[in-house]
A and B are shown apart, each in its own frame.
Chain A
């Protein structure tokens, strides 16, 4: 075990993956010598050479297309999109190409092994072009897997699983936690399962569900609620696609209540999908309406970020309202 922040854990995962399999490559804008603007790929070029860790021109669609071609040839590209806000020029390559490669060819070709890493989310005074959480766009695309880790241990294990997965994965990293989240991380290779949620705390009165950076926020809200005698179960969804409806449904059958928290705007956010499925599966067990605590339906603000975000206080209020319904 070693103490690592999330960036160190990601860097360590990439290092292990590149050492283990010479088909693994890392590239993207400023990813090479500089090691990425957040330094997630630090020292990898030095260690594995310019052919396997390199800068690309400023072209997200080019990065995604290049990664698709490389993966189709049998490599395992880990392509970085510098900010999730800038993934949209690559949207066609990801949605129409990456996601459909295996299906449209009848399994003649596939891009399994391809991972898009991208820092997402707010809390860094980044305004609307350095703060977005675009997971729901990709969750609507069959063929993709979408994963969001909450801490360094999760980040390493899930990223290694993503690189080893037979299907392409979008790996959204909560950049707010890159240096802020520190924890014990095994130094050796390990994987955590994709498509499985984790019950991080058990409880009886209400299930509180989130992923990524929001996990810290719901933890804070739950601490407040428990101080008032409300027993909360906390679930980290971890994978947005495929998502683990069984774990969530089992929990809600027990608690009868569900509060979902995400950073992205409310309308069309992934909480809506979860709510629809859970009300269908747990209808007769529900004691109160499923609550969503999300960003407002606006672009991500700058000066009014505090007001906008789905913070612990809004979550605390939603938990109380759910229990008192």
Chain B
């Protein structure tokens, strides 16, 4: 008999439900809080240089987040989003990738971006929407993107990158590239229709995507238990017929190991993989949010102890790969470097008026050119009302 339903028929003669919680996905943990390894844990191969790059990327991001949140509070930038407490999820996974792999992020993945090589100046230019910003000052702060390092520009609407990642990876496969696409999103975004569309498309069309869910417990103020009912997000991967793995998101060794394994599988079979990192968004959703309105200090304190950086730091110290004193000194130097870069970027001019209409189309359509010409005439009439552009209209 054919199987037109694409379903396994194992017959029973007694009516019984399969429980919505019948499937419980285990969580991979390798590194303990105290910097030692769990006994018998699968230790991934990791050389000193890579481990130190992972560590320095995490500390860079933490210092950058502290400094830029403060800059937002001072009114120097309009908006910011930290990844406090989640640094290991994006850095550990990015470290497991090849530089040719595409990264499609949600918005809290500055760790992956920095690991790829986005420079401090590039961060600052985007955050200050100045004329050196690769995005030409068009998007709110943290909407980074850079073709040269295969980091797709961030889009604010949630989950839209998920089916796009399926299409991107399908194209990589058709071209015979030895690369995958990693697609980051949160447990909240997994409620969007695009999540279902994207995972189903990737599974059916055999696209080598690593769907990486940062389950950090909150979508702005909405806790995960008001977001979905099943066992995390990982349980859904099984429904889409794809390999699935859950890891402790504060354990960078577990994240690194699982992502390496997922990448190898996706590349070898063209099957997508769903990874779920269990993490905690220790900071606010964004600079416009205040978590004291929806969760307790006690809860935050409990998770603050679960710090991904200190755990990895202890492990590096125990291996003799990191020098305590030198590390502290380099952090002080980094703070100064960030402050200096900030001062430079905030003085760079905003993009010129021509970028109001450029890139809407490859070449501006006639109506756009006409609208710009009319606008220039108007600005010349009221130059004081448009100080950013009135002095440099030609």
Contacts and interface: CB of A to CB of B under 8 A. Distances in A.
A104 B135 contact: yes
A65 B145 contact: no
Interface string A41-70: 000000000011010110101111111111
Interface in B300-344: none
Nearest to A242: B365
A112 to B, nearest CB: 6
A67 to B, nearest CB: 6
B367 A92 contact: no
A281 B214 CA distance: 54
A17 B58 CA distance: 47
A260 to B, nearest CB: 18
A108 B164 contact: no
A65 B359 contact: no
Interface in B167-214: 167-172, 174-175, 181, 193-194, 196-198, 200-201, 204-205
B246 interface: no
Interface residues of B, number: 50
B360 A70 contact: no
A73 B167 CA distance: 8
A70 B367 contact: no
B147 A143 contact: no
Interface residues on A, range: 35 or more
B366 interface: yes
Contacts of B363: 166
| Most interface-central of A54, A65, A102, A112 (chain B CB within 10 A) | A65
B160 A108 contact: no
Interface in A285-306: none
A108 B167 contact: no
A103 B167 contact: no
A103 B157 contact: no
A166 B362 contact: yes
Interface stretch (B16-24, B76-84, B136-144): B136-144
Q: Which one of A51, A69, A93, A242 has the highest number of Cβ atoms from chain B below 10 Å of its Cβ?
A: A69
Contacts of B162: 65
Interface in A12-45: 25
A89 B193 contact: yes
A75 B171 contact: yes
Contacts of A25: 174
B94 interface: no
A77 interface: yes
Contact of B138 (A89, A93, A103, A166): A103
B138 A106 contact: yes
A281 to B, nearest CB: 11
A267 interface: no
B190 to A, nearest CB: 15
Contacts, number: 158
Given A66-B164, A69-B171, A72-B168, A109 B204 contact: no
B362 A77 contact: no
Contacts of A109: 145, 147, 152-153
B354 to A, nearest CB: 13
Contacts of B172: 73
A103 B359 contact: yes
A73 to B, nearest CB: 4
B230 to A, nearest CB: 20
Contacts of B198: 62, 65-66
A54 B206 CA distance: 13
B87 interface: no
A93 B143 contact: no
A25 B157 CA distance: 27
B134 A106 contact: yes
B365 A102 contact: no
A96 interface: yes
Contacts of A52: 174
B164 to A, nearest CB: 3
B133 interface: yes
Given A62-B163, A105-B134, A109-B147, 20 more contacts: A52-B174, A54-B205, A59-B201, A62-B166, A62-B194, A65-B164, A68-B167, A70-B167, A73-B167, A93-B160, A102-B360, A104-B138, A104-B145, A106-B135, A108-B145, A109-B153, A142-B368, A143-B360, A145-B361, A166-B362
6 contacts: A62-B163, A66-B166, A69-B104, A72-B152, A102-B360, A105-B153
Interface of A: 25, 51-52, 54, 56-57, 59, 61-75, 77, 89, 92-93, 96-97, 100, 102-110, 112, 142-143, 145, 166-167, 195, 242, 245-246
Interface of B: 102, 104, 133-136, 138-139, 143, 145-147, 152-153, 155, 157, 160, 162-172, 174-175, 181, 193-194, 196-198, 200-201, 204-205, 358-363, 365-368
Q: Which 8 A-B pairs have the closest CB atoms?
A: A65-B163, A69-B167, A62-B197, A69-B164, A105-B153, A73-B171, A66-B167, A69-B168
